[in-house]
Structure formats: structure tokens, C-alpha cells
Amino acid sequence: MRIRYKKWARPELEASKFYINNPEEYKGKWKEQFEKKENPIHLELGCGKGQFISKKASNNLNINYIAIDLVDAMLGLAKRNVEQEYKEKKLEPKNILLTRFDIERINLILDEKDKVERIYINFCNPWPKGKHRKKRLTHTKQLEKYKQFLVQNAEIYFKTDDEDLFNSSLIYLKESGFKIITKTYDLHNEPIFDNNIQTEHEKMFSEQGIKIKALIARYF
């Protein structure tokens, strides 16, 4: 999704207590950045405006969340959405961190010491052209990188509107040694997630009559 430049985003992010400006320095040390270091870590790749992660994190204070995106404007909006969600629940955002980074190079900021237990990938770019498919966040190339910081039995939760991306992702996951635990081609009529939180894209596509595809895969 393209978004207009927002001049306020970078200053607000740099002033935020839950924004990490230099994530490379925290590789292998992410647990120490949270108040409750013993909590498991869940990761959202491509958090966009943060509607999903703000609700997910504020509803699950026993889990620490890291949300990554590459666009300052997106992260600025995510930061504001996080603040709003936690304010409404009279909470402080102590179990969530936002950071800006290129997910294709994710192994520069996470390793086996970080012990990520779950990855969320929601409505990522489908990169339909053959020459671009390796850029997909679910591509085998990327999955092999994720395996470097996932713990045994870690899970990937994936949602998309794109059927080709979904079917290809099923193949990518199996190629990389993940087991498909459950899947659906119509999430809203066949729920496979507990307390599914709809993203902005999810609502938009659903209103257009496009069925949401979803899966849970496990890394053994």
C-alpha cells in the first residue's frame, strides 16, 4: 500500500518509548528490551498502520510483540494506533516495540537467541510477476531466514486475499519444512483463528466480496 509522506512521523517515532531506531544493535537481545523479559516473543512482518498489532498486543499483555515495517509514515500511524488502543484500555504499551527495517534482511536484526514463537504475516505484497516472487514474505528464501530465529514448534499465521499467493505459500512452507496445521479459503465462514482481528485490508477485500485465505503453519 502506498501512503503519502508524513513529516511528523519520523520525529514522533524517534520520541516514542516503544520505537526502536537502530534494530541492528538489538540482534540477540530483544527479550531484554521488554519489561517482562520472560514473556514469549511474537513478530508481525509488515505491520502497516498497526490496526492489527495494536489490538493484538493490548489484548495479550502476557506476550511481547515486535512489529516491523519499512515506511516511516506507516509506522507513525501504527505508533498512534498503539497509543490509542492502550489509552482506551488504560494501559501503558510496555509489551510492544515498533521498528523500521527491510524484512528481506531480517537476519541482520534477529537470531536464535531471540527465540521468536510466532510470526504474523497479514496481506503482504503478492508480487505476482515471476521475477519478483522471491520478494514474497512467504517465499522459501524468506522462510529459511525466519528459521534462524524461530524456536521449535513456532508458528506462522498468514492471511491474504490473493489465491495464487496463498497456493504458492502452501508449497513454500512445505518445501521449507513447515507443517500446515490448518488452512481455509474462506476465513470469515470457516474461522481457524481464535478471536480473529480484522486488518484494514481484510475489511476492504471482504466488502468487495473477496474471500480471505488463511493458514497456520508450524516449524518442527
Q: What is the pLDDT of residue 19?
A: 98
Same domain as 214, residue 152: yes
| Residue-wise pLDDT tens digits, 25-73 | 999 999 999 999 999 999 999 999 999 999 999 999 999 999 999 999 9
Instruction: Give the percent of the chain with pLDDT over 70.
Output: 99
C-alpha cell at 9: 512521523
How many domains is the chain partitioned into structurally? 2
| Residue-wise pLDDT tens digits, 73-116 | 999 999 999 999 999 999 999 999 999 999 999 999 999 999 99
Residue 10 included in any domain: no
Residue 11 included in any domain: no
Confidence band for 130, pLDDT divided at 50, 70 and 90: confident
Same domain as 188, residue 139: yes
The CATH code of the domain that includes 75 is 3.40.50.150
Q: What is the pLDDT of residue 186?
A: 98
Q: What are phi and psi of 121, to 5 degrees?
A: -125, 110
Same domain as 169, residue 200: yes
For the chain, the average pLDDT equals: 96
Residue 32 included in any domain: no
Residue 8 included in any domain: no
Same domain as 214, residue 155: yes
Residue 220 included in any domain: yes
Q: Quick one: which of 166, 165, 182, 193 has its CA closest to 217?
A: 182
User: β-pairing, 178-184 with 96-100?
Assistant: unpaired
Domain that holds residue 63: 37-101
Same domain as 55, residue 94: yes
Same domain as 138, residue 218: yes
User: β-pairing, 64-69 with 96-100?
Assistant: parallel
Q: Is the pTM of this model over 0.85?
A: yes
Residue 24 included in any domain: no
Residue 72 included in any domain: yes
Residue 17 included in any domain: no
Q: What is the pLDDT of residue 2?
A: 66
Same domain as 89, residue 145: no
Q: What is the pLDDT of residue 1?
A: 57
